[in-house]
Structure 1
Amino acid sequence: MKVRGVLAAVLLLVLAPAPAQAAPKDSDLRWSVQPSTAKGPDGRDYIITRAAPGETFTDYVGVTNLTAGKLTFTVYGTDAYNTEDGSFALLPAAQQPTDIGSWVTLGARAYTVPANTRLDIPFSVTVPTGATPGDHAGGIVASIAEESVDAQGQKVLVDRRVAARVYLTVAGAVAPTLKIDTVRLEYAQAANPADGGVMTVRYLVRNTGNLRLTGAGSVRVVGPLGWELARTEDLELPELLPGGSVTITEKILGVQPTVRLAAQVDVVPASFDQKLPTVTRATGVWAWPWALVALLGVALLALAFRYARKVRRKRAAGLDTVTTS
């Protein structure tokens, strides 16, 4: 039977203490994956460990078949990365890992699990001697590929995946660092001048260090002479892996135009071991108070008109004096 297309893989990740489960609406297949031991799950949310270059360690994932029939899973390791919105994700099945996922060794590629049964699968991770210090993130995936039919009636291969996260810190010098790459501002004045306007602030935060980091970002809007016009509440940033980034967008209402507006972005990085210094970046945007400009323009025209009338009257009075003489 020839497969004529491939549907995007469904990937569920361990995001809470409960094991991640796959329960597609269009399939009766259900299973879970969670950190485990040789004797069963030990309550861990994720697999988190430390190792030195050249060291090998062993751990387990529990794969539970939640259906009434046996299931065969493809089990493998892969690398993690941050998506555009900062979410934790794993490489597609067709993409070969180059980091921690390539360091994983399992006893087999496929495992068959009886109905309503959990299988605790051992795996080992061998850290290369040249591995870079710091955090490396990935996952142990249990997947099932099924043939299905799409809306056009074509046969497609659906790869459903469930994974347990793996975080490994390689011993060595660490440098936890966040950087604000860019700050972009847009200002749109409201129809009613009394309402001010809307300032849109977009800033890119990048993890330029070698440890996974979270943090909180805020924006302060100031006018001339440092006059504070608005300040946002702290916005929690997603966990950024080394090299990962996320673009944050903040919309601030009621900002009065003061010809020149500046936005200062402050990001307070947070590691899991220490407090880090605040990172700051600022930029400005022109925001002309057009209603005030128009009002001043009308006032100037009125003054000019009054002045012109006054000049004409004086001239007319001077002519009358000359004629009478």
Structure 2
Amino acid sequence: MRGAWAGLGVAAATLLGAVAAAPAPQWSAGPAEGRPYVYLEGAVGSVLQDTLSVTNPGARPLTVRLSARGAPVAFAVRTVTVPARTRADVPFAVTVTAATPPGEHTGTLLATSGGRESRVPLHLRVSGPSLAALTVEDVTTDRSGTLRYTLVNRGNTLLTPRVAVRADGVLGTVLDRPSRALPVTLRPGERSVRTEPWPDRPALDSVTVRLSVTAPGAPQATARTEAVFVSGPAWATGTAALLAAVGAAAHAARRRRARPGPTPGDPVEERARAEATAGANR
């Protein structure tokens, strides 16, 4: 019997030791009612309210500091002390200011304690007419052929842009890349500087490079730049000037061919022709 009690004591001691060695459950912060994130929607000028829950499963009180990024959030308190094995619900409000454009916006609620930080996503939708607008600006081409350009979201919605590139030289098209999606999402007002490599650029040509960008719901935007590619020794300067002149002439010829001619029987054109003939006869 004595041996049985001794064995029971050892087992109990082992169990207590395991319990003592187990890590204490960590505190957590999140939207009330177990939601994965905070979602708010309203018009400009409205004040939207919700609650952030901080749960302390530990055996001691917990002090947590609250803050936010990316949104004008006002908490009822900035620091909250949560008793052991208790949850504290902290109200907060988001004011939709007049400077906030309609559309989707994101932010983050932060809870910090003891060197640990908990982040809660905040999604804000501001009601009102949406506008999808995208521009492409500052298009340049360097000697290596690399294209550099800037995309700008001029609207109030998120944009996922696509880009197409075409380059025409003196003798015809030298680059034609169809539209493709870019690995970027532009928030309202955001700018993104992009580059486009061109490893097989022509060694000797004068080209016009055109970029066309699109995004769902936005009208197409275009921009262009001129470039002269010359590979060779010192005579390159003269060749570049010649190519530039030839390229300008070719461009002018293309514009003339694209311009519609006079309509037969046009009274204005007939009168001008008659006056020119009369002047020649005099």
Q: TM-score, normalization: structure 2?
A: 0.59
Cα offset, 1:286, TM superposition: 0.9
**Offset from partner CA, 1:172-225 (integer Å, 9 cap, x none):** 33322111121121133xxxxxxxxxx211111111222232222343333235
Structure 2: which amino acid aligns with 1:171?
S
SS of residue in 2 equivalent to 1:39: helix
Equivalent residue in structure 2 for 1:242, among 171, 188, 191: 188
Equivalent residue in structure 1 for 2:45, among 51, 54, 60: 54
Q: How many residues align?
A: 213
CA distance in 2, matches of 1:246, 1:226: 31
Task: Tell whether the 8 Å contact from 2:77 to 2:90 is kept in structure 1 after alignment.
Answer: no
Structure 1: which amino acid aligns with 2:192?
V
CA distance in 1, matches of 2:181, 2:57: 38
1:203 maps onto 2:149 in alignment: yes
1:118–1:184 Cα change, 3 Å: farther
CA distance in 2, matches of 1:66, 1:184: 59
Pick the structure with more strand per residue.
Answer: 1
CA distance in 1, matches of 2:60, 2:93: 29
Equivalent residue in structure 1 for 2:132, among 176, 186, 208: 176
1:266 maps onto 2:266 in alignment: no
1:105 maps onto 2:105 in alignment: no
**Offset from partner CA, 1:270-314 (integer Å, 9 cap, x none):** 3xxxx32222212121102439x89xx9xxxxxxxxxxxxxxxxx
Q: Find the structure with the greater CA-based Rg.
A: 2
Structure 1: which amino acid aligns with 2:33?
K
1:39 maps onto 2:30 in alignment: no
CA distance in 1, matches of 2:59, 2:205: 69
Task: Tell whether the 8 Å contact from 1:32 to 1:65 is kept in structure 2 after alignment.
Answer: yes
Structure 2: which amino acid aligns with 1:174?
S
SS of residue in 1 equivalent to 2:197: strand
SS of residue in 1 equivalent to 2:74: strand
Q: Report the counterpart of residue 281 of structure 1 in structure 2.
A: 223
1:252–1:108 Cα change, 3 Å: same
**Offset from partner CA, 1:232-280 (integer Å, 9 cap, x none):** 772424222222111111212222234212322222223xxxx322222
Q: Report the counterpart of residue 123 of structure 1 in structure 2.
A: 92
Task: Tell whether the 8 Å contact from 1:73 to 1:142 is kept in structure 2 after alignment.
Answer: no
1:76 maps onto 2:67 in alignment: yes
Unaligned runs of 5+ in 2: 1-25, 240-282
Unaligned runs of 5+ in 1: 1-29, 80-99, 147-158, 189-198, 298-325
CA distance in 2, matches of 1:169, 1:257: 51
CA distance in 1, matches of 2:40, 2:81: 28
1:202–1:48 Cα change, 3 Å: farther
1:31–1:286 Cα change, 3 Å: farther
CA distance in 1, matches of 2:28, 2:204: 57
1:232–1:289 Cα change, 3 Å: farther
1:139 maps onto 2:104 in alignment: no
1:72–1:183 Cα change, 3 Å: farther
CA distance in 2, matches of 1:74, 1:131: 28
Cα offset, 1:114, TM superposition: 7.2
CA distance in 1, matches of 2:184, 2:29: 23
CA distance in 1, matches of 2:59, 2:197: 50
Q: Percent identity?
A: 29
4+ runs deviating over 4 angstroms: 30-34, 60-71, 112-121, 159-162
CA distance in 2, matches of 1:182, 1:163: 37
Structure 1: which amino acid aligns with 2:96?
V
